[in-house]
């Protein structure tokens, strides 16, 4: 399935040339602050599968809760955050904001992460996979997605 998306004003458009490796619902304090919401839904996907058109995004770098920096990319015209580059991942990948997809209902979280800082009034769906902070890829990812990630290093 081809997914497309972009910023609120349309200056940045993108197409994803593959399914995401995994979809996170991240409840960390950094994501809460950046989005102004209780969590963010991120599609973890290799950069080579993100084809962007239009205005190049602007960026800034933050120190993340992991202690490592991450760069956030956003539209310089409307301020929409389109993706992040987290330096803790073992390959060249983006974390695309699901809310910027033309059809955000086309994805659902595979796992909820950093639930130790989940807001108390958020109830996770019954049976949802969740971890208190981060996880080991080998414990969560299917073999074919692990192989795809390793091939992109």
Instruction: Break the chain into its structural domains and give their ranges.
Output: 3-151
Per residue in 95-146, pLDDT (tens digit) is 999 999 999 999 999 999 999 999 999 999 999 999 999 999 999 999 999 9
Q: pLDDT band at residue 67, thresholds of 50, 70 and 90? A: confident
pLDDT higher than threshold 80 for residue 65:
no
State which fold the 3-151 domain adopts: glutathione-dependent formaldehyde- activating enzyme (gfa) (3.90.1590)
C-beta atoms surrounding 87 within 10 Å: 12
Q: pTM for this one? A: 0.94
């Amino acid at each position: 399935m081809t997914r497309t998306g972009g910023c609120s004003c349309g200056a940045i458009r993108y197409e994803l040339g593959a399914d995401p490796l995994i979809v996170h619902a991240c409840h960390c304090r950094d994501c809460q602050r950046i989005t102004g919401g209780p969590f963010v839904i991120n599609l973890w996907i290799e950069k080579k599968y993100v084809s962007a058109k239009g205005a190049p995004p602007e960026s800034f770098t933050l120190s993340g809760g992991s202690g490592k920096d991450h760069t956030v990319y956003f539209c310089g015209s409307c301020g929409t955050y389109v993706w992040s580059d987290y330096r803790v991942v073992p390959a060249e990948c983006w974390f695309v904001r699901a809310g910027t997809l033309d059809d955000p209902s086309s994805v659902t979280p595979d796992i909820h992460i950093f639930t130790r800082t989940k807001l108390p009034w958020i109830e996770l769906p019954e049976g949802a996979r969740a971890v208190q902070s981060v996880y080991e890829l080998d414990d969560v990812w299917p073999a074919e997605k692990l192989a795809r990630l390793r091939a992109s290093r």
